[in-house]
Structure 1
C-alpha cells in the first residue's frame, strides 16, 4: 500500500517537473460562452516553431474552459484541437528527426490531461506530417487532427 501511495504521488508531481518542449505564442482568441464569474470559454489560436526544423511554424486552435475553475487553472479543457503547419522559410534540419517525436506539449487540466503535437517524416513523399491529440494518464481521446508540409525549395534558395 505504501509503494502504491508513493507511485501515485510521483505521478501527480511528474507533469510539473517535465518542461514543455516548446512555448506557443498566442495569436488571438474568440469567446464562445459568456461566464458571469471568471473568464469566458474561448477558442485560442497559438503558434509555435518546430524546434528541430527551421522554416516550419505550426498553428493550433483549441478550446479553453473559462469560469472560476478555468481562471484558476483548475478546469479541464476539451480534447478537440485543430492544427495547420506551414513552411515559412527555407527548411533546414537542426538535428536528426525521430519518428513520432513530440514537438509540443501543453497541459489541458491541472494534472492528468495534455495536448501533444508529434512529428513524422514521410521520406517517400519528402513531407513532414504533424499530428495533434490529447491524452490522459488513465484514458486518452481518439480525437485528433493532422497536417502535412511538402518540403519545397524556398524562392531565394534556387
Structure 2
C-alpha cells in the first residue's frame, strides 16, 4: 500500500511539470461506421517554463471502436509550430546553456507504451528556442519528428 501511494504521488508530480494542451479543432480523415472517425487534432499549449511562448501541435488520432475506448495506438505523425506571443524573459539557467533538452509536453498515444513528446532546446548563439516533437515507444521509437524555432525578439516598449 505504501509503495502504491508513493508511485501515485511521484507520477502526479511528474505530470504536473508538463504543459497541458487544449484542443483547438479537428478534422475527420476517415469515416468509421462504429466509433469515432479517424481525425487530425490541433492542440495548443503554453511552455510551462517560459512565459509568452505558445505551441500548436497537429497529430493523428485513431478512431473506430478501439480508438473510442482508448485502446488504439495513434500513428507517429505530428507537426508543431511555436510562436512568441509576448515579451520573453529567460531564466538564468536557460541563458547559461543549462537547457540541453527539457521535455515541456507529453501526450499518451497508446494505452501504455507510446507517447508524443515535445522537447525544448535553447540556442544561445542565435538567441532562439527550438521545440522538437517526436513519438517514442518503450521498445522501438519512431524517427518521425517535427521542429519549430522561436527567435527571441524585443517585444513592445522594451
Please report the TM-score for the alignment, with normalisation by the length of structure 2. Answer: 0.86
The 5-angstrom pairing of residues 6-155 of structure 1 reads 17=11, 18-19=14-15, 21-93=18-90, 96-97=93-94, 98-154=99-155
Q: Displacement of 1:93 after TM fit?
A: 2.9
Which stretches of structure 1, 4 residues or more, deviate above 6 A after TM superposition? none
Unaligned regions of 5+ residues in structure 1, if any? 1-12
Distance in 1, Cα, partners of 2:52 & 2:157:
13
Distance in 2, Cα, partners of 1:34 & 1:148:
35
- Give the 3-state SS of the residue equivalent to 2:73 in structure 1: coil
**Number of aligned positions between the proteins:** 145
Q: Displacement of 1:95 after TM fit?
A: 7.0
Higher-strand-fraction structure: 1
Task: Give RMSD over aligned pairs.
Answer: 2.0
Offset from partner CA, 1:79-112 (integer Å, 9 cap, x none): 0100000001111235733211000000000000
Please report the TM-score for the alignment, with normalisation by the length of structure 1. Answer: 0.86
State the partner residue of 2:3: none
Contact 1:120 1:130 survives alignment (8 Å): yes
Unaligned regions of 5+ residues in structure 2, if any? 1-6
Q: Displacement of 1:56 after TM fit?
A: 0.3
